[in-house]
Structure 1
Amino acid sequence: MKKLYSFLMGILGIILALWLLSLHLESKSNSNASNKLVIFNWGDYIDPELLKDFTKETGIQVQYETFDSNESMYTKIKQGGTTYDIAIPSEYMISKMMSEKLLVPLDSSKIKGLENIGSDFLDQPFDPKNRYSVPYFWGTLGIIYNSELVKEAPEHWEDLWRSDYKNEIMLIDGAREVMGLGLNSLGYSLNSKNEQELQETVDKLYSLTPNIKAIVADEMKGYMIQNNAAIGVSFSGEARQMLDKNDKLRYVVPPEASNLWFDNIVIPKTVKNKEAAYQFINFMLRPENAYKNALYVGYSTPNLPAKAMLPKEIQEDEAFYPKEETMKRLEVYQSLGSKWLGIYNDLYLQFKMYRK
């Protein structure tokens, strides 16, 4: 009986030891989590020095992970199993994530510096009263061209169809962007849900294929900088980086219509360190940090004091800070819903296959 008693007490001791060990590990894990911030962002979309500055100032270590599309970011957060504290999606995806309860409502009492953001970038239809997001960068979709490689500079979307641009154009690889420029060239909204307009658009895009050199992503920068392509269609921030490295390049936003986009900071439902997330938001809202970030990334900042710190030639460059009359003609991507997004993607895929 004593042996049985001793055996049971031994088992109990082991269980107690394992329980104490688990508590210790959980405590350690929580301690580590409270000292770490996990950011999910586009590649090369923040000055790395700012992440170091944030850690130096707060003691919070930053784990920085990247995505290459709004859709891949959305899928990863929706599936769960991740611990992202901060994400930086675009406007139409913010709307979609809000509707699917994938974002945490912001506590405005914990946010400091929102007054630095221009009123034009707040209270947008995709996030009324900014209940879920804080502006990070904004910009346009336009045409980059090499002034020495084209006889006549493109100014409108329709110009891309000129016969003298044969095998000279590089397109950004995106369904909304390519379908959008096609729609705009015909005078249609880039958020069209009209099947006839969409079919007319893809038919017109088929006729553009002789002029297309390649459909690419980040590779476009290298081609344009090295004078290996005459024309590109891409985002303003990408264009800024190209222009900085090649003084022959120019960027133009077609005045008839184009895309106006916003990338905002959000706290996804996967958050583990909410306090650190608010600290990061406030850190990025400070003008000196937003200024440093704008210089590094090259995109347009919605932070007005930060913009005022930029060199005059950047502040007054209408390609990157368009006049009000141009801004009025720009459209923000709307969430199309799964049906129409599928149609856009299918038509775009047909276009890509056609040119092969």
Structure 2
Amino acid sequence: MTNQKKPAPWRARSILLMTISLLFPSTSLQAAQTLTLLTWEEYLSEAVIERWQAETGVEIRQVYFDSGDKRDEILAKPDHQIDVALTELISATRFGARGLLQPLDAPDLAELHNTAPRWRDSCGPYSVPYLWGTLGIAYRSDRIEQAPRSWADLLKPARPDEPHIIMTEDHEDILAGPLILLGHSINSAHTDELKAAFELLKAQSEAVLTYEYVITALRSRRHLDRADMALAYSGDQQVLNEVEGVQGEPWRYVVPEEGTLLWVDCLSVPSIARDKALAYRFLRFLNRPDIAALNAAELGVATPNTAAQALLPAEVRQDRTIYPAEEVLARSQVYETRPLEATQTRRRIISALINAHDAR
């Protein structure tokens, strides 16, 4: 039997809101109408889902992906039936240029006035900001004597021959740490720099349990006894503690001292979406300050919505794993568009890494 986690104050308020929604559902329930969302697992608050369904009568069907490559494979299909997709600047720009995503017009999304230009510019014309955060290291504080501080702690582990680390198969994010540790830009298109990053990952591979998104890997229950460190995103530690259900919330998160990736997740509407008006309504709903605040607090992730941030409890706004200090942000890098050939090189790197790992 697992230990039940005591809800944090903002979670308790969220549970209350969800309960009210269930007690007083919308009278215009239209069970047949569904909005399909392509997203990461555990990346939309259950309380927000309940609020949406109570207000609109529209159900949300979530389709999960574990990496940007898997998402792109789905969006490239001519009959995917996705209404709203989680994207980022590079993928949204490429798919938009191919006519596969709708340009998102500001007049139809008036709620975006609460989002600073910094975040809107990070998503481009084919998507709108959803959440933002950092890439870093999640670790079991009850199994590791000294908290990791550097990317070297993950990439050059003290136990190099003992599988205990979870990485990812995302061809972008898996290379960010090695490139930063080597002093290069995360946007590098230089073959020599990418090869050096690959060599770091290859040397680390003996200590890697799996190349999966850490939440997916641990939810499968396959690596619970051995995993004590992982490449992760800010907020993941909260879900990992819930997945494991262990007492004391041992999973913690740190941004390496060398700096990191500052990521911005966006939402896009495919050109073949069945009901674009409904998709726009969903985007407006998520950008309402009360909904954006509820979602961010539940997930433990930063919101780009300034009005929503002001509604958050002080302990959330002051949590440096969610809202890093300015000096951390100053050392962080963001993804930029790059030649397709450089992206293909990155994909070949991760493919070779995973194939070699699986062959052992």
Please classify the TM superposition score into its range, dividing by the shorter chain length: 0.7 to 0.9
Match of 1:325 among 323, 327, 332: 327
- Is the Cα–Cα contact under 8 Å of residues 34 and 273 in structure 1 kept in the other structure? no
Q: 1:91: Cα distance to partner?
A: 2.5
Instruction: Give the Cα separation in 1 of the matches to 2:31 and 2:141.
Output: 52
Match of 1:163 among 158, 166, 170: 158
1:193 corresponding residue in structure 2 = 189
Instruction: Give the Cα separation in 2 of the matches to 1:33 and 1:335.
Output: 41
Instruction: Give the Cα separation in 2 of the matches to 1:346 and 1:269.
Output: 29
Query: What is the correspondence of 1:215-294 to structure 2 with a 5 Å cutoff?
Result: 215-217=211-213, 218-220=216-218, 228-243=226-241, 246-294=248-296
SS of the residue corresponding to residue 75 of structure 1 reads helix
More helix by share: 1
1:100 corresponding residue in structure 2 = 98
2:3 corresponding residue in structure 1 = none
- Count of residue pairs the alignment pairs up: 321
- Give the letter for the 1:285 counterpart: N
Distance change in 2, residues 1:352/1:77 (3 Å): closer
- Give the letter for the 1:173 counterpart: E
Distance change in 2, residues 1:49/1:147 (3 Å): closer
- Is the Cα–Cα contact under 8 Å of residues 224 and 230 in structure 1 kept in the other structure? no
Instruction: Give the Cα separation in 2 of the matches to 1:180 and 1:284.
Output: 29
Instruction: Give the Cα separation in 2 of the matches to 1:239 and 1:225.
Output: 16
Instruction: Give the Cα separation in 2 of the matches to 1:227 and 1:320.
Output: 27
Specify every segment of 5 or more residues in structure 1 that has no aligned partner in the other structure, as ranges: 1-31
Match of 2:39 among 38, 41, 46: 41
Match of 2:314 among 312, 332, 339: 312
Q: 1:33: Cα distance to partner?
A: 12
SS of the residue corresponding to residue 122 of structure 1 reads helix
Distance change in 2, residues 1:143/1:343 (3 Å): same
- Cα deviation, 1:285-315, whole Å, max 9, x if unaligned, reads 1111112212333322112232233332322
Distance change in 2, residues 1:188/1:55 (3 Å): same
Choose 1 or 2 for highest CA Rg: 1
1:7 corresponding residue in structure 2 = none
Instruction: Give the Cα separation in 2 of the matches to 1:311 and 1:63.
Output: 30
Distance change in 2, residues 1:118/1:221 (3 Å): farther
Instruction: Give the Cα separation in 2 of the matches to 1:274 and 1:34.
Output: 17
- Is the Cα–Cα contact under 8 Å of residues 31 and 58 in structure 2 kept in the other structure? no
Identity %: 27
- Cα deviation, 1:84-133, whole Å, max 9, x if unaligned, reads 33222123211211222222122322213212223431223x51xxx322
Instruction: Give the Cα separation in 1 of the matches to 2:41 and 2:203.
Output: 33
1:25 corresponding residue in structure 2 = none
Distance change in 2, residues 1:309/1:171 (3 Å): same
Query: TM-score, normalization: structure 2?
Result: 0.79
Instruction: Give the Cα separation in 2 of the matches to 1:276 and 1:222.
Output: 34
Query: TM-score, normalization: structure 1?
Result: 0.79
Are 1:90 and 2:88 counterparts?
yes
Instruction: Give the Cα separation in 1 of the matches to 2:231 and 2:221.
Output: 12
Match of 1:214 among 195, 210, 217: 210
Instruction: Give the Cα separation in 2 of the matches to 1:332 and 1:211.
Output: 28
Distance change in 2, residues 1:153/1:274 (3 Å): same
Q: 1:162: Cα distance to partner?
A: 4.1
